[in-house]
């Protein structure tokens, strides 16, 4: 383990030297990638330095214990030695977790897509509730959000909403949200007072850089048309809406949220690039089937991951069997307890797989 940590320390020092070179500073893509790598390695290097310091303190304490003759001093040194041994054992465990292979998308910004599923208008209303939940969570975390595209309904719901989330921990914290979110409640549209079950699909996609996914001009067809619905005074007066078709895969992305055709095209390309990157990642994960089995869920959009039960004010995450009786708090963006439980379970499974 120490050999691996020393290698990481050397790599971190080499990156620091690279980041100070003018030619690297001038290359935005390379500078961004090296900065991301450094932000991942620096905490490991710092923890390793603390670990080595404790080991040296332990060696000094053991040496003094051997030569000390006075009983009270020996007892004090023995207590100090035992405490250091406990701290070192905990530090070793923490370093083992740090040495687990990082998710290749760790540190990336993301695109989130919330789509109403079964349940009609009630599903669309719950899609809006989930969007507010994520908005409040992202505000608390200091993540920056930008709406890419939305399809509102007449009573305040969303058939679909796509938005970006920018932040160094955005992917690591929100990657577990992919899947089917089920809601059980009496809909406002229900006159009989019966509890209905509806579903909303959430997809979390790492935002791909141009260096991750290259889209050739001859692989896409771009159509422009007049926007409809929300959008301000330019609605139905200019061809600002954009539809991009990716010919090799048949993927279609539309964007009409902005009044500017250029801005809509830029947003649509970001969404297309993220979806193509997600497709590429799914192919990679399918090849790494052993790793995939060790993860918390597959990130599959069809997997039911969580139930929000309004009559009992209950939220249950089915992947880790966690139930919280604090629905209002969760919907207000307090997702930390759920996210931490999912993170811990993922680490435990990966450690287990590594040991096997």
* pLDDT of res. 116: 94
Nearest-10 crossing angle of helices 28-67, 71-98? 160
Q: Where are the beta strands (DSSP E) in 120-225?
A: 144-152, 158-166, 179-185, 196-206, 220-225
Residue 54 lies in a domain: yes
Domain hosting residue 238, numbered range: 217-285
Task: Please write the tens of the pLDDT for every residue from 210-249.
Answer: 778 889 999 999 999 887 755 444 455 577 899 999 999 9
Q: Do 216 and 247 contact (CB within 8 A), yes or no?
A: no
Number of domains the chain contains: 3
Residue 103 lies in a domain: no
Q: What is the band of 20 on the pLDDT scale with cuts at 50, 70, 90?
A: very high
Say whether both 204 and 300 belong to one domain: yes
**Residue 106 structure tokens:** 């760790």
Say whether both 116 and 84 belong to one domain: no
- 295 has pLDDT over 50: no
Q: What is the band of 298 on the pLDDT scale with cuts at 50, 70, 90?
A: very low
* pLDDT of res. 231: 46
Say whether both 189 and 312 belong to one domain: yes
- 186 has pLDDT over 70: yes
On average, the pLDDT of the chain sits at 88
Q: How far, in Å, CA of 323 to CA of 316, rounded?
A: 4
Residue 333 lies in a domain: yes
Q: Do 160 and 115 contact (CB within 8 A), yes or no?
A: yes
Say whether both 256 and 332 belong to one domain: no
Q: Is 127 exposed, middle or buried (0-12, 13-18, 19+ CB in 10 A)?
A: buried
pLDDT average, residue stretch 108-136: 94
pLDDT average, residue stretch 291-319: 75
Say whether both 234 and 186 belong to one domain: no
Say whether both 187 and 226 belong to one domain: no
**Residue 315 structure tokens:** 């939220």
Say whether both 183 and 300 belong to one domain: yes
Q: How far, in Å, CA of 4 to CA of 9, rounded?
A: 9
- 164 has pLDDT over 70: yes
Contacts of 82 (CB under 8 A, 6+ apart): none
Say whether both 49 and 86 belong to one domain: yes
Flag the least confident range among 126-130, 285-289, 327-331.
285-289
Say whether both 187 and 121 belong to one domain: yes
Helices in the chain by DSSP H: which ranges? 2-19, 22-25, 28-67, 71-98, 121-141, 170-174, 261-287, 289-293, 327-331, 336-355
Which of 23-32, 148-157, 174-183 has the largest mean confidence?
A: 174-183
């Amino acid at each position: 383990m120490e050999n691996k940590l020393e290698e990481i320390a050397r790599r971190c020092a080499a990156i620091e030297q690279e980041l100070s070179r003018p030619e690297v500073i001038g290359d935005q893509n390379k500078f961004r990638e090296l900065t991301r790598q450094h932000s991942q390695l620096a905490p490991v290097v710092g923890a390793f330095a603390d670990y080595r310091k404790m080991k040296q303190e332990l060696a000094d304490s053991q040496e003094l214990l051997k030569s000390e003759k006075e009983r009270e001093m020996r007892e004090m040194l023995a207590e100090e030695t035992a405490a250091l041994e406990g701290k070192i054992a905990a530090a070793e465990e923490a370093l083992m977790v740090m040495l687990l292979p990082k998710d290749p998308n760790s540190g990336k910004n993301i695109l989130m897509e919330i789509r109403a599923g079964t349940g009609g208008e009630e599903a669309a209303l719950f899609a809006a509730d989930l969007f507010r939940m994520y908005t409040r969570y992202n505000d608390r975390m200091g993540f920056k959000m930008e709406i890419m595209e939305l399809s509102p309904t007449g009573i305040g719901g969303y058939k679909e909403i796509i938005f970006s989330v920018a932040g160094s921990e955005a992917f690591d914290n929100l990657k577990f949200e992919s899947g089917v979110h089920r809601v059980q409640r009496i809909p406002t549209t229900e006159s009989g007072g019966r509890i209905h079950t509806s579903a909303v699909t959430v997809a979390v996609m790492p935002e791909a850089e141009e260096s991750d996914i290259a889209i050739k001009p001859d692989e896409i067809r771009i159509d422009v048309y007049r926007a409809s619905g929300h959008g301000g005074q330019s609605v139905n007066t200019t061809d600002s809406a954009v539809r991009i078709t990716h010919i090799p895969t048949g993927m279609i992305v539309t964007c009409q949220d902005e009044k500017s055709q250029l801005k809509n095209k830029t947003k649509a390309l970001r969404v297309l690039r993220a979806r193509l990157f997600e497709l590429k990642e799914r192919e990679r994960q399918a090849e790494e089937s052993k790793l995939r089995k060790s993860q918390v869920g597959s990130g599959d959009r069809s997997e039911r991951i969580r139930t929000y039960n309004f009559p009992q004010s209950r939220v249950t995450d089915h992947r880790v069997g966690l139930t919280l009786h604090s629905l209002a708090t969760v919907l207000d963006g307090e997702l930390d307890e759920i996210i931490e439980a999912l993170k811990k379970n993922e680490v435990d499974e990966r450690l287990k797989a590594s040991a096997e």
